[in-house]
Structure 1
């Protein structure tokens, strides 16, 4: 059985994982940040609850689905840079590319495995405290179900140009932000093995996770 922290991290990725193929609004760039979070979260929760194959553990299907839908709604470069910390500026463009690729695989597979355990949770989005012109906002939500509510917050930035709209760049579960959670681990590896060592560590972890199914 999942504990509160595990459930929170599971639902965190649900909300970041787009709507599992559900159609986006025609004017997605005009959608409010809190409305986006609510739509994505409810869409994913409903999709997972209604898909028996996902609930029965077909991870390859779910991994591919999450991989295909998450990127339009997440600034993954910014998340990776924040997670790697000062070492990001030391990395070459090729190393940065590899870090993004391997970190993405790690998160997608880790959380995709947890999605199969979603059953009765619902999401409550708290009132957004932001001015209409704000380009960087905090959306606070609570996951309601069995037991005490779970705090789940999102940092989003408004992006211009093609594909304009709100992008998630950090997430907070029970007071712990995603970037900070991994940063301490990554920093230890970088201090002992360098950027290439971190890439190798992520590759090894992803291979191990894939072998476990």
Structure 2
């Protein structure tokens, strides 16, 4: 069984997610970002970095996460974690969030890409089309599975990408924040995305 480490900051949503009985089979090891040291991740097969961690705590410890990729582990990086400031080769730009497009009738402008990618059997459309915080421009060779378009129909940037090229490990990065919404009990699709990401990380 793969060892899964969940890096969190002790927020109500993060603790509620860790207490979710549906995640019990993963036997997740929680690690608080304040106490994170490289040794705690040394034998982790999968490292999940919760969304919305404090940048002043995450960025100084980011080298421990990058070391996991260098040794071949899988790292899942959820949104609002300032990845543009510490993840090599990534540009991050903020965008206004369309919160309730299914109620207002707005075009969410979220577009699914690469339909033949092996990750797609793990992610239903509803799981990846609900919410976002900004766009990313991934490194060359990474595969964007979900893009945001501009109002004129041009590609604006990635909302979800997988990088299996830049390091010996596998990296999933998104600007969505499923832990916050799952733990807070609102936002359609967030729970499904969280569960799907864990399945992808541990079964592939």
Q: What is the TM-score of this pair, normalised by structure 2? A: 0.23
More relative contact order, 1 or 2 (CA 8 Å, 6+ apart):
1
Which has the larger Rg? 1
Q: Going by fraction, where is strand more abundant, 1 or 2?
A: 2
TM-score for both structures, normalised by structure 1: 0.23
